[in-house]
Amino acid sequence: MANSEYEYVKREFEFDRRLPASNWIVVRIDGCHFHRFSKIHAFEKPNDENALRLMNACATSMLEKFPDIVFAYGVSDEYSFVFQENTELYQRNERLILSSCSSWFTSFYMMKWKEYFPSKELVQPPKFEAEVLCYPKPKIVCDYLSWRQAECHNRNQYNTCFWMLVKSGEDENKANEILKGTLSKDKNELLFQRFQMNYNNEPAMFRKGSCTYRQKIDITQRIKVNFQ
Ligand code: ATP
Ligand code: ATP
Ligand code: MG
Ligand code: MG
């Protein structure tokens, strides 16, 4: 296209945003309309363990594909990926980072579906949106992750109560009405009084979400072992 009459199409109409230097980049992926997607595919409520494991498998493959991801945190249909502050992935080009992360995650999700749901047909293509956030200090990255985990706790506690009520025969409107305005301790109490359920004994993956990260291996130790 160089020096052609069409060159202006690229020169004048393509805008690339470069993400600010020395910032930690967080890419958050979230399933589109997963409320419906989970219904269509009959996910167990409130938490389908296989669906969460599939999300975790996608996160692991993201860490393999993008070496600059240092940590990832996931809950429900979302996963946040933290890239090290000086990553030069796509020269920090925002649209290339976003499109490659969401397409890799989505295609891996589809590729692995059968492994996690051997008896369920994938009847609708899943779609994941990605957004990017830039944080100048590690403290803010930690606060971001704490915020996502606090959301996980609030939603999961609500959903656990909601589905226990619905499964015990309440209709969905009534269940929402019962839970309206309740505090965290009220929900724990409701679960205990009505269902003899201790919320703290629920699986940690449901209550706290999942982390994906690399494990450091001491190579010198390994070499020593091999030579013994
Ligand atoms: P949006 O497109 O705006 O993200 P959404 O329908 O995906 O809409 P979210 O707020 O992202 O809404 O919530 C995801 C929904 O997907 C949850 O409310 C839940 O119903 C369902 N879901 C996701 N993962 C699971 C799972 N592992 N088990 C059961 N349900 C799940
Ligand atoms: P990048 O990741 O930078 O896009 P690329 O390898 O995808 O690298 P492109 O410039 O996009 O490079 O070119 C796509 C390449 O894919 C072509 O050079 C060709 O080798 C191959 N390719 C794509 N579609 C076809 C096809 N239908 N038949 C044969 N080869 C194809
Ligand atoms: Mg969603
Ligand atoms: Mg979500």
Say which CATH number the domain at 32 has. 3.30.70.3000
Whether residues 44 and 91 fall in one domain: yes
Joined together, the tokens standing for residue 110 give 């589809």
Residue whose CA lies nearest to ligand 1 atom number 8: 33
pLDDT attached to residue 226 = 67
Residue 1 lies in a domain: no
Residue 23 lies in a domain: yes
Residue 213 lies in a domain: no
CA gap 37, 43 in Å, rounded: 9
Whether residues 124 and 25 fall in one domain: yes
Whether residues 50 and 99 fall in one domain: yes
Whether residues 73 and 157 fall in one domain: no
Whether residues 22 and 124 fall in one domain: yes
Ligand 1 contact via 94 beta carbon (within 6 Å): no
Residue 172 lies in a domain: yes
Q: Which of 38, 55, 102 to mutate to test the pocket of ligand 1 (most atoms within 8 A of CB)?
A: 38
18: nearest Cα among 101, 84, 91: 91
What is the share, in percent, of the chain residues with pLDDT greater than 70? Answer: 97
Confidence of residue 13 (pLDDT cuts 50, 70, 90): very high
Q: Which of 35, 116, 120 to mutate to test the pocket of ligand 1 (most atoms within 8 A of CB)?
A: 35
Q: Which atom of ligand 1 is nearest to the CA of 76?
A: 24
Whether residues 91 and 182 fall in one domain: no
Residue 208 lies in a domain: no
Whether residues 47 and 101 fall in one domain: yes
Joined together, the tokens standing for residue 26 give 């967080």
pTM of the model: 0.94
Ligand 1 contact via 34 beta carbon (within 6 Å): yes
Query: What's the average model confidence in pLDDT over 109-132?
Result: 98
What is the share, in percent, of the chain residues with pLDDT greater than 90? Answer: 90
Question: Could you give the number of structural domains in the chain?
Answer: 2
Joined together, the tokens standing for residue 161 give 């109560």
133: nearest Cα among 6, 27, 5: 27
CA gap 228, 29 in Å, rounded: 46
Confidence of residue 70 (pLDDT cuts 50, 70, 90): very high
Query: What's the average model confidence in pLDDT over 221-227?
Result: 70
25: how many CB neighbours lie within 10 A of its CB? 24
Confidence of residue 185 (pLDDT cuts 50, 70, 90): very high
Whether residues 100 and 158 fall in one domain: no
Domain containing 79 equals: 15-136
pLDDT attached to residue 219 = 81
Residue 227 lies in a domain: no
Confidence of residue 33 (pLDDT cuts 50, 70, 90): very high
Whether residues 157 and 52 fall in one domain: no
Residue 169 lies in a domain: yes
Which position has the higher pLDDT, 217 or 159? 159
DSSP H helical ranges for 43-137: 49-65, 94-116
DSSP-assigned beta bridge partners for residue 129? 30
Whether residues 160 and 50 fall in one domain: no
